[in-house]
Structure 1
């Protein structure tokens, strides 16, 4: 068994935990949720600030992350080996703070056997939960050209999606399925005519396939809607995004539930209750980006659950 230890530097560590726990009362026991445990950077800091009778619920699909969570040995931690799409299974109005760090953890990227990186050769997997579901290689073996192009275009915002899809289909017809990351990265590079300086030609395609195979955006939308049910009035929502597709979903969700929309067709209608109060956005400092270049695209958006009845959602 490979016992290599991969390091992970948590992005916006103190900023996220400060935003999550700011202004909460110390008079009653609290329930905090880390919907993306990863390697536990945020969770460890939350635990260090929690009261003895508080609870921290952690979600993660990755069996390796679950093993790290179990090794904490803290009785205040409730571990759930599932994605944060299951957030809605928690009790209504039971959560004081919910944190989602949507980035792929560095150990996942740096471990070639997980198949997330185009910089190292490994099996073309990309599943967050390596114990279940279809790998990228399995999907690419049978997916139709139009479907492959749509996924790469929609989830990777890749303008050469059509050419990449054609290259993938031609390759599997000529030489069989693509099973390795280096093979796919080289194939994509041959089909991409130009790329932004400093960006690998395979970046957008790998992002797209990872998002698709893990249904990441669908899960995010499910979790956001569930947050309105599970957060208590005054509870905090803090979400760290790493690309525009995620951030757009989070931004629009917060705007939709924190801004009063005037309906010109029904000017006398009662105002709809606002479910969130936007608390702004935070980006990593220049020093953090210098120390951890993977933080450069991070954006954290914070909102607070209002006093409006959650059952009206």
Structure 2
């Protein structure tokens, strides 16, 4: 990216607005997520952890005679983090205050918080995370370490970065406003076999994330059967005909939520059967630890 940034602050060093103009290099060819990465995966995170009343983001995507660009783990968020965090560092130096102090003055405090760039934050405690980071880095002892390094002819610096992680994208107002007509849902089906095994059909395809273990553990803990009695099926289009896939750290948040909802239906059906067999009221049937 080639980016120009303008930030306005008031006399109390509170951010009034942010203006970002970015030229994004897509390479020589269009790829699957190349146009989405510098737009909705990037511009929607420009608020970072800060209460910024107004944000204007203009992104121009260009083709060049370079290798095509596509998403690979968290694309968009690192670029947005770099823009806002470098701007905060520069602003702190120009204002003559510590970068940590400027961040604290502008952290979002009231939740839920609606940013000017679509995304809404449910909750957060950014002071606590900054405190933990500064303690782990022993910021209080930095000046001593810098003086010792200077005596040895070395230069020691201190930097920090605060960021918002975007993951688990699912059906939401944000997704709808961005034009994702498919909804970004996930599918799941749970089959209980007569021999006491359970089969999970999931649209969250695993390519090394360990879904087979995680999804099986979810069912095992819910219904109290051995993990080896749970089979996870994915990638078989004869059995799993619908699914949005694995990306954006969404298989746990969205894929497992779909499985959880399917398990709710299995449990409800089990209660009906148990109530009939035991000649009891369905409301009196309780399932705990799979029993």
What is the TM-score when the length of structure 2 is the normalising length? 0.33
Greater helix share, structure number = 1
Relative contact order: is structure 1 or structure 2 higher (C-alpha 8 Å, sep ≥ 6)?
A: 1
